[in-house]
Every structure is written in structure tokens, then in C-alpha cells.
Amino acid sequence: MADFNIVSGGVYPKLASGIAKKLNKKLLKVELKRFANGERYIRYEEPVRQKDLFIIQSFAEVNGYSLNDAIIELCLLIDAAKRASAREITVVLPILPYARQDRKARNREPISISVILRTLEMLGVSRIITIDLHSAQTQAIFSQPFDHLIASPLITATLQKLTANDKSAYLLVSPDAGRAKETEQYAEDLDLEYLHLPKSRSRENSSHIKRPSNITGVQNKKCIIIDDMIDTGGTLITAATTLKNSGAKDIIVATTHGILSNDAATRFKESPISSLYIVDTLPQHEHQAILGKKLKIISVAPLIAEAIDRISKGDSLDFMFKGKNNR
């Protein structure tokens, strides 16, 4: 693609503006509004005929949007572009909605992410770009190019600066068995020691997480926990409590997707966690207001901008991740 335009949905225009600025672009002008009955409306205010579009939409309950509002608006942006003869349409979804509903866990359930991706393909999307999928196999649902970016270079660079002066003072901790492999990879990249923290769930109430009251090997250590997503925060807060009770000097958490549903931000504020690093794939201004200096933002705009630039030039993305995004 010799030339392209950047389009922003209404959920997170600040991110789209940051990406456009790094690419020396201006956002394409789009009218976005909501009718009194809740229906969404969009209209491109500039021609898109035979143009290649990168439509950026995130999914959060902010700025008068529900998550499902954001999905509908994305669909309308795609449909309007297609009907106006846009050449290629790439959707940039920093977090993929419904990605955790990627299988049938019970009878008569939908596979919700399949519905989302098949809808985007039916509407005429040429390519999808997203970050840190819940399950890499999700890419198989979409038959067009699917670029799975990973935030680990951003998180690794941030933690390298944090730990550079005294690596022996820090310890990586896997919050559960599911994060063991990723924690080991981060430990190798950061040249830090690591351990795995046991976790189980109550038979009577699966939402109740059970941890040992204390563990060995963390006393006077600055413990770092890295996860791909924080929703309610139960796993990480219980892990932090165990580490604190075990004599950890400091507890630091880093994550890609900071959803922080319901009162999670308040619970993190009151938790033993001293610093929470979040890659801003979602708007964080409401969480920042609650968490203050405890919340540290890692900008995702440079990562997405580089990916768009490489795609527009027909260059490989493999260089950005050294093959790690295919694991």
C-alpha cells in the first residue's frame, strides 16, 4: 500500500491520534453520533474511494459507550467504507472483544469470538491487527491476514530499566500455572530468577481463589508479576497478599490489557501492590484517577504505528518480535 488513512472509532480517539502522529498522518474526519434511542450513526466526511484504511477501535465502557456499542460502531465504519469504495480495510483492535469466549464450555453455548470474526470478514475486512490474544488459535477463524502483535517488547524494555541497577533484588513470580511459560520467557529476557505461585479454586465457589498463606524464597525481594490481562484482579491481588505475608519487600505488576472491571481499580489501590504497569490498549484515565501514581502507563502507540508502517510498505513484522508472536 503506497498510501493509507487512519480512522478512529469513538471509544479511544487519543490512542488513534497518537498512532497517526507517529506516522505523520491526520485522522480521517468522521462524524460519530448516538441517536436518542441508542442507535449509532457514522459518516465519513472525506472521500475514501480507492483508499486503504486502518480503522482503530478499542472496546471499553467509557465515553458513553458500552462494549457492544463499540462493536456496532466498528461494523458501521467498515460497512460505510466498503460502500464508499475503499480499497482495503484493516481493523486495528488493540484488544479483541469476546476473545475469551473461544470454545464451548457447556452445551448450547455460542463460540462468541467466532461470531465477531466471521462478521468482520463478511463485512469486507481485509486484515486484522490485534495485541496479545487470549488464545493464538483464534487466528484460524479469520481467513484473511491476521497480524498478532505482542506487548512483551514494551513490557520488557520498561522492566529492564527498572531492574538494571540491581537484578539480584528482583524476582519474577508466575501467578498461576497458566502463566508459567510466559514468566520463564520474561525471566530469560530480563536475566532474573523466577518462581511459580500455587493457586487452586474452591469446589463450592469457582470464583474463590485459594492460596497458601505464605511461601519461601521471596523474603526481602522485589517481586514482579506479569499477566496478559487484568479484569477483576482476583488472581493478582491474592498473589500479592501471599507474597506480602511471605516477606516480599515490594510487589510490582505489569499487564497488557488493563480492563479493571467493576471496583477492581479500588481493590488494587487498597492492595499490597506498589506499582501497576499497564499497556494502554484500553483507555486508562478513569483508573488513573483512582490509582494515582500507583498506575504507570506504557504507551502502545509506537508498537501499533510501526506495525502499520511495515504493513503499508509490504515489510515483514517478524523483525519486531523475532518470531515470538507466533508462539
Q: Are residues 87 and 26 in the same domain?
A: yes
Specify if 9 maps to a domain.
Answer: yes
Instruction: Report how many domains make up the chain.
Output: 2
Q: Output the domain CATH number for residue 70.
A: 3.40.50.2020
Whether 207 shows a pLDDT value over 60: the answer reads: no
Specify if 32 maps to a domain.
Answer: yes
Q: How confident is the model at residue 198 (pLDDT cuts 50, 70, 90)?
A: confident
pLDDT digits (tens, 9 = 90+) for 82-97: 999 999 999 999 999 9
CA distance 57 to 13: 8
Q: How confident is the model at residue 326 (pLDDT cuts 50, 70, 90)?
A: low
Whether 66 shows a pLDDT value over 80: the answer reads: yes
Specify if 323 maps to a domain.
Answer: no
Q: Are residues 189 and 243 in the same domain?
A: yes
Specify if 325 maps to a domain.
Answer: no
Specify if 26 maps to a domain.
Answer: yes
Residue 199 bears catalytic tag: yes
**Catalytic, out of 199, 221, 222, 244:** 199
Q: Which residue type, as a one-letter code, is found at position 32?
A: L
At residue 285, the 3 state secondary structure works out as helix
Q: How confident is the model at residue 206 (pLDDT cuts 50, 70, 90)?
A: low
Across 243-261, average pLDDT: 97
Q: Are residues 238 and 102 in the same domain?
A: no
Q: Are residues 99 and 124 in the same domain?
A: yes
Tell me how far CA of residue 104 lies from CA of 100, 107, 114, 249, in angstroms.
Answer: 11, 7, 11, 42
126 lies in which domain range?
Answer: 5-149+301-317
Whether 105 shows a pLDDT value over 60: the answer reads: yes
CA distance 75 to 303: 24
pLDDT at 178: 80
Q: Which three cell numbers stand for residue 63?
A: 465515553
Q: How confident is the model at residue 176 (pLDDT cuts 50, 70, 90)?
A: confident
Q: Are residues 156 and 284 in the same domain?
A: yes
Specify if 322 maps to a domain.
Answer: no
Percent residues over pLDDT 90 in the chain: 85
pTM, two decimal places: 0.93
pLDDT at 1: 43
